[in-house]
Chain A
């Protein structure tokens, strides 16, 4: 299948250290890549390259045939981070609506309401973000990331701060986005959560992929044991 999101020999260095070192992969529409690895493996840097927030030293990332960080490529990206990227003085609704306006979403108010309802935070929509718990803030952050219906959803530790209900809503949302034809990259330390939504799993170490395989038929317990062994 033609990849919707593609990384071609991406390299990104900070000083002499290569945070991402010659990474290539492709994800087709409806597929999801779960990205695992220890702290400092280069997962977040890779995600920032895929979002167009960082320029690679060499190689390229592209969405369909648009190379990042071109604006029409960024328009198709939704980014969830472990930082909420919200303005704490504004309400949840204002934050999400601002994102909708920036993406030029038609009927921004209705789309905002739908996104907040999907994340089950509509009843707190008119409360300033600073008055919400960390988990509710994360739900608003996810609503902000999906309000424009992105083709490519990049999630860096998206389960941060979420309670059981929030985590289940997020898993449901990620699976629904896959069914809708989006390509997903999910960075997480929780193997079971990552594998639950992914069609492919990759492990990063020292800026490179050391494993990349489809999740179909993958035994979670065995994968977890091999993962632990890899970093023992």
Chain B
């Protein structure tokens, strides 16, 4: 007798499948990585170190880079379902629509973390940032921001996946909703890199966490409606 997996079990299966596909092709990850590194290089050459200190310019560069490179992976996550209408097979399977969202978001989360893990040391290298001192709290901020970005991004990637201009629509729709995540994340980064006490960042951490919870819940509830023809 078949016993379909529950919400988390199905989400894990879908995330594992998406990561296996990305691991085989590496197309989105490499694209995102190259975009990240190129952005850092271009910002580096456009930066005048005599006018602006590295710790002042780095937070903005970091979050602009993460936001746009993350979008590449988000777009790809539903592209694999659209190719041969594999999404139909997912929808016929006896798993909750919310599990599809969670699975996709989980894979996108791993994707964004992977890009961050390479791009952050590169940023530190280019701008000679004292990362080791603030690595713990900065990693936490990046982790929290990655949750929010992937929740919103996964929802809008799902909405735009069946449209003709998905690559254009995804950033246009998602970027305004990224602001409540990117803003506190950039503030935390700025304060940490400037050597301010951790206490000063706690408020921004709370805002990040609150938006994560709101976006996770709201996006998971909304996602099933985006799948209806």
Mark A residues whose CB is within 8 Å of B.
51-55, 71-72, 74-75, 77, 79, 81, 83-90, 94, 98-99, 101-106, 128, 144, 148-149
Contact = CB atoms under 8 A, between A and B. Distances in A.
Contacts of B24: 89-90, 128
Contact of A104 (B2, B25, B86): B2
Interface stretch (B56-64, B87-95, B135-143): B87-95
Interface residues of B, number: 28
A98 B19 CA distance: 13
A45 B29 CA distance: 37
B94 A72 contact: yes
A85 B86 CA distance: 4
A106 to B, nearest CB: 7
B199 interface: no
B92 A87 contact: no
Interface of B: 1-5, 10, 13, 17, 20-21, 24-25, 80, 83-86, 88-96, 228-229
Contacts of A87: 17, 21, 80, 83-84, 86
Looking at chain A's contact residues, the main secondary structure is loop
Given A55-B228, A74-B94, A81 B2 contact: no
A209 to B, nearest CB: 22
Nearest to A76: B94
B80 A148 contact: no
B158 to A, nearest CB: 15
A4 to B, nearest CB: 17
A83 B35 CA distance: 33
B92 A79 contact: yes
B13 A98 contact: yes
Given A71-B94, A77-B92, A90-B24, A84 B4 contact: no
Nearest to A71: B94
Contacts of B2: 75, 103-106, 148-149
A15 to B, nearest CB: 12
Contacts of A81: 85, 88
